[in-house]
Structure 1
């Protein structure tokens, strides 16, 4: 939740933030093994150097689609810049970032040191793993079946993502067959402070529905 609050605050203010405190965090429901955990963050107030970010955590049953709210809380984020810096911009309700609006799924992550290679950029294998996760979740939410990865097509890496950058993944189901479907996944890198976005990678993930014993089966939905 803290990471999601940090990303939301940084995208809003485009400066360095730290968590000063958090309030009203009540854990109401558990997220069970195998659930999809969905975090959403909204900036609800902005001062000269601080923000309040509301974070909601929901759990979704992969096969039924049933969703429950697990917890929510308010994170108070403070800019670590000097007091003479320009104040934060005015909060305008309803504003959204320039994300993929037609995607079936979006996942946002940060690049930490353990995720990088010796060049200080996102390790390709880790990036591909994140893309595969997006493909798996999007395919499961689309047909509510147990899905496994069968193959990848047209995988291309065009640009790196540096340590400290945002990885913004969007996934869209582009084909549904009898037993399999195709998910097109795009990976965009975003610089934390400038907001500059770069198209970094894309791939088609072929996902197959499986039943008992891991054998392929027809997609029912």
Structure 2
């Protein structure tokens, strides 16, 4: 199964041309390659190298970038992870393939461990109506207990809500409100985060988004639903006033 990371291109990620730094794009690809490989191996994993990476198209400030990694080759202690980076214009939905390549990851044996499991079946990605994006908890995101700051969790959930709402409405979206938010389990340094978001209501100019935040221990595969929230996103025009959504059918997305 693939691992996907979706992020926004902010000015701090861009060069003087207004396009994404190549190094930032490579960092996104390395992250999804690591997550896909570590999830497959369930052991400590590091990047050994990558094959030639050619950038065919830019990602511009204000666009979304979608990085995807999938384990495609497995040796005794090494894996080849195929990666792709796409740029997406939020309003038009236009997508461009920026680059693709292969990252080589190594998961050394520890005492009692055998070879890595074989290449997983491709299968079909889940089509359950949830938009899923992954992240990793690094030390700079944690408090003195070694767990994710609640504020950083909210930032990630708010970004997921924005991306989900933008893809549904194809307009300029802003956050109007965050409804009840419940935290039920801590997220530890080194955990993988999966943000699952879906549209629950569509009005004339607003979209309600449900977001679930899941934590996954990469060495054991243990998963915990750590938080759930609802955000209300509103479409606005150039003057910042609410604007009608082009297809405001008030129906629920598939559960």
Aligned to 2:172: 146
Aligned to 2:88: 60
Q: Equivalent of 2:148, from 122, 130, 145?
A: 122
Contact 1:24 1:72 in 2 (8 A): no
Distance 1:80 1:89 in 2: 13
Q: Equivalent of 1:181, from 207, 220, 234?
A: 207
Aligned residues: 219
Distance 1:7 1:25 in 2: 19
Structure 1 position 83, deviation (Å): 8.0
Aligned to 1:38: 66
TM-score (norm 2): 0.83
Structure 1 position 103, deviation (Å): 3.6
Distance 1:103 1:187 in 2: 16
Could you list the runs of 4 or more consecutive aligned residues of structure 1 that deviate by over 4 angstroms after TM superposition? Answer: none
Larger relative strand fraction: 1
2:237 matches 1:211: yes
Q: How does 1:12-27 map to 2 (within 5 A)?
A: 12-27=40-55
Structure 1 position 24, deviation (Å): 2.6
Q: Equivalent of 1:164, from 190, 211, 215?
A: 190
Distance 1:214 1:186 in 2: 29
Q: What secondary structure is seen at the aligned counterpart in 1 of 2:79? A: strand
Contact 1:110 1:164 in 2 (8 A): yes
Consecutive unaligned residues in structure 1, runs of 5 or more: none
2:128 matches 1:94: no
Q: RMSD over aligned Cα, in angstroms? A: 1.5
Distance 2:244 2:129 in 1: 24
Structure 1 position 108, deviation (Å): 0.5
Q: Equivalent of 1:196, from 222, 238, 254?
A: 222
2:37 matches 1:9: yes
Distance 2:30 2:117 in 1: 22
Distance 2:123 2:246 in 1: 38
Structure 1 position 26, deviation (Å): 0.9
Distance 1:145 1:104 in 2: 20
Aligned to 2:6: none
Q: Deviations over 1:118-148 (max 9, x none)?
A: 1100000000000000000000000101000
Contact 1:104 1:138 in 2 (8 A): no
Q: Deviations over 1:187-219 (max 9, x none)?
A: 000001000000100101000110021111111
Q: What secondary structure is seen at the aligned counterpart in 1 of 2:220? A: coil
Structure 1 position 163, deviation (Å): 0.3
Contact 1:184 1:204 in 2 (8 A): yes
